[in-house]
Structure 1
Amino acid sequence: MKIIVCALAHLENSPRPNRMVRLLKNNHELTYAGFSSNMIDIDFIKIPKKKNLYVRMISLLFKVFRLHKFISRISYHLNIDANMLEQFDVIICHDIQLMPYFEKVNPSCRIVLDLREFYPRQFENDFLWSFLEKPFQHYLCEKYLPKAHQCITVSSGLKTEYKNIYHIDAEIVHSVAPKSELVLKLNTGKPIKLIYHGIANKARRIKSIIEAMDSVKSEAHLDLMVVGNKRYIDELKRMARDRNNVSVLSPVAYKKIVEVTNDYDVGVIFLPPSTFNLQHCLPNKLFEMIQAKVPIITSPLTELKTFILKYDIGWVTSSFDKKTLVKLINQLNHSSINIKKLNVDKVSSFLNQEYANDDLSLILLGSSDKRPEC
């Protein structure tokens, strides 16, 4: 089969497109379209990351006046024409903004759309985004979701919302990490090493995790490994400098995250319910920590709480108040950590890409039923 995977992302740093490319490239003729690719054994089509000023201004005006049908084809420039698209049997699209490019392809071409967020509420706590971008995302969902053969998403909460509002039935595909052969490292009674890694985003309230460490009585140390907004990261670094039990480390390459995390005792995913997507997230870092054989402390977000308790691989705070995080950290000890570590080690054997790849292949390459007319 000839397959194209499209994403507004750098392939080397984007777990879901990366996983699908690795799954399919050995048995199919594969092309990746995105910002960059580090794989030399597949074809690559570059999507320019920066839009020119003219396009940005026209896009803004169209969004202000709700002229969404005129904006959908100029948001990003996909360097591939309709004739070239005709050669593909399957299109796997990771960003709904790219769907307008595929509406005229041969109906026999299978289109799979990855809904890793509930797009119309992605940055709902940002007023400007809600005013300009939310109506456009709603337009894209309403027009293009029915045009995919198959939609996939990351959690039951997102699946339900897409079903209720857009009447599509998405398959849940967790963002599981590659299977790790790392050895389980039990805690030996030494100071407890905590790690938080991920995107530096104010909506995730990372500062409250740092502030919680002020009241931790046990010998625990928190390392932060974050990427993203430089100004916000600098703020986190300033906070860490004022504390002897918090450090901000330089980020490592994506492929090294699991290996580095393996040296820690506990992973921290203490996120607030500040957006719909956070409330229903099952983030990449959860599955990376599982493959690192590290138990997790999480806040009582709907999906995360259910998942952690189902597999008994960590602890859930009683509320989103940082005081409850302090209480949990203070209760950790050598024995309780190792019990959870052993549980994580067990579930890591099946919560991984290799175990789940057969099912994913069926979802991605399933039947070739004709999609709805565009």
Structure 2
Amino acid sequence: MKVISAVINNIETDQRVDKVCNSLLKFGYDVELIGTTLRGKPTLNKEYKTSLIPMKYQVGFKSYAEFNFKLFVNLLIKADKNCILLANDLDSLLPFYLVSKIKKLPLVFDSHEIYSELPSLHNRPTTKKIWKSLERFLLPRVKYFYTVSNGYANWFKKEYGSNPEVIRNVPHLQKLNDTENLIFFKLPQVPENHKIVLYQGALNMSRGLEYMIEAMLYVENCVFWIAGDGPKRNELEKLVQDFKLDHKIFFLGNVPPKILKTITPLAEVGISLEQDLGISYKYALPNKVFDYFQAKVPILSTYLPEIKATIEHYDAGRVITKHDAKHIAEELNILLKEGKKSYHERLSKAAQECCWENEEPKLKAIFEQIKKVD
């Protein structure tokens, strides 16, 4: 059987979608992933088939409308009777749902977040209402549904009566020699006897980075690397300049996943300081947490429930109680003093348990269930 999936964001760097598509390929499905040229043309170099929707509009409502219309047309042309449709997130679900009804095809939905509760909608009530209406109409009508955390699953069940499976966004188990063949990437020079603190991920609102940058005023013999890009980058760079911390804080920009996997183990501490700005962040369980596990890097984490529970379950770092620069610095200094070697055994256990190899069977079971019904 064929599986057609799609995502509006960059198919070159979306690790979850790539893992799912590669797993489905391994299970024996003919896989095609449809991406877009939104904010640039990604490289199409995958084991499975890929194609791109050319985008005229790059931001705002028009870009979503264009994507949904063109995706609908693409799916009508490409989907046949031996096809399973796989939608990623609410922004692609409507065309998948319509084509599944028109052609009587099974539909699977992977919700990476709670779209109607994203922080970006916090001050946009009209846009939020539109996404909420779509959620309310579509989600109760989707039979095969999975998401990334227990918090998300419980919320969807309470809000819409849905009962999604939980398939966490975790990396593949990293072998001991995975970081031996380093790929060239220019890194900042680290002064002798200084340790590296790392943040990896998008530079969006509510990531706690403003507090972390200020906290570096109170942390000695340490540099802070920020691997990622996003709309907050200029603001964060200005903050670094205002605090005169250019010698301690460095922006690495977007780092390809294969290269990032070789950089993360260099860190002494990994950062995940998300703030509670909306339900989608409150119950998030970001993949960076599990990337730190695989790299055997202890974590300074937020108090948000899913992340906190994961860190405390494995005793894999320290959890802040508030977003305050001095408090963050105090907790970070404790972690740096303890050293990552003291966490190695616990992180090894976390890495063994929190890997894609343990989530993959749940994905296979969903698609096998569809084949049996079919």
TM-score bracket relative to the smaller structure: 0.7 to 0.9
Question: Structure 1 residues 201 and 53 mapped into 2: Cα distance closer, same or farther (>3 Å)?
Answer: closer
Match of 1:192 in 2: 195
Question: Structure 1 residues 320 and 175 mapped into 2: Cα distance closer, same or farther (>3 Å)?
Answer: same
Question: Structure 1 residues 212 and 125 mapped into 2: Cα distance closer, same or farther (>3 Å)?
Answer: farther
- Do residues 338 (structure 1) and 341 (structure 2) align? yes
Match of 1:116 in 2: 112
Aligned-residue offset at 1:137: 0.9
Distance 2:120 2:60 in 1: 27
Match of 1:258 in 2: 261
- Do residues 46 (structure 1) and 52 (structure 2) align? yes
Aligned-residue offset at 1:76: 4.3
- Do residues 14 (structure 1) and 14 (structure 2) align? yes
Of the candidates 70, 85, 100, which is equivalent to residue 77 of structure 1? 70
Distance 1:179 1:199 in 2: 23
Question: Structure 1 residues 341 and 54 mapped into 2: Cα distance closer, same or farther (>3 Å)?
Answer: closer
Per-residue CA deviations over 1:273-293 (Å, capped at 9, x if unaligned) read 122222111112111111111
Q: Contact between 1:202 and 1:232, CA under 8 Å: does it hold in 2?
A: no
Distance 1:221 1:99 in 2: 42
Aligned-residue offset at 1:190: 4.2
Matches within 5 A, 1:127-138: 127=123, 129=124, 131-138=125-132
Match of 1:366 in 2: 369
Question: Structure 1 residues 12 and 81 mapped into 2: Cα distance closer, same or farther (>3 Å)?
Answer: closer
Distance 2:254 2:243 in 1: 16
Higher relative contact order (CA 8 A, sep 6+): 1
SS in 1 for 2:119: coil
Deviating more after overlay: 236-245 vs 6-15: 236-245
Structure 1 unaligned regions, length at least 5: 60-70
Question: Structure 1 residues 196 and 18 mapped into 2: Cα distance closer, same or farther (>3 Å)?
Answer: same
- Do residues 210 (structure 1) and 213 (structure 2) align? yes
Number of equivalenced pairs: 352
SS in 1 for 2:107: strand
Question: Structure 1 residues 39 and 366 mapped into 2: Cα distance closer, same or farther (>3 Å)?
Answer: farther
SS in 2 for 1:11: coil
Q: Percent identity?
A: 21
Distance 2:265 2:301 in 1: 18
SS in 2 for 1:211: helix
- Do residues 147 (structure 1) and 141 (structure 2) align? yes
SS in 2 for 1:342: helix
TM-score when normalising by structure 2:
0.84
Question: Structure 1 residues 125 and 21 mapped into 2: Cα distance closer, same or farther (>3 Å)?
Answer: closer
- Do residues 323 (structure 1) and 323 (structure 2) align? no
Question: Structure 1 residues 55 and 138 mapped into 2: Cα distance closer, same or farther (>3 Å)?
Answer: closer
Match of 1:99 in 2: 93
Per-residue CA deviations over 1:33-76 (Å, capped at 9, x if unaligned) read 1125623543323223443899839x8xxxxxxxxxxx7x9744
Q: Aligned partner of 2:129: which letter?
A: P
Distance 1:161 1:290 in 2: 26
Aligned-residue offset at 1:108: 5.6
Q: Contact between 1:108 and 1:370, CA under 8 Å: does it hold in 2?
A: no
Q: Aligned partner of 1:197: which letter?
A: Q
SS in 1 for 2:271: strand
Matches within 5 A, 1:60-71: none
Match of 1:66 in 2: none
Distance 1:118 1:14 in 2: 17
Q: Contact between 2:111 and 2:147, CA under 8 Å: does it hold in 1?
A: yes
Match of 1:219 in 2: 221
Q: Contact between 2:4 and 2:34, CA under 8 Å: does it hold in 1?
A: yes
SS in 2 for 1:324: helix
- Do residues 166 (structure 1) and 160 (structure 2) align? yes
- Do residues 5 (structure 1) and 11 (structure 2) align? no
Question: Structure 1 residues 212 and 76 mapped into 2: Cα distance closer, same or farther (>3 Å)?
Answer: farther
Match of 2:204 in 1: 201
Question: Structure 1 residues 37 and 245 mapped into 2: Cα distance closer, same or farther (>3 Å)?
Answer: closer
SS in 2 for 1:146: helix
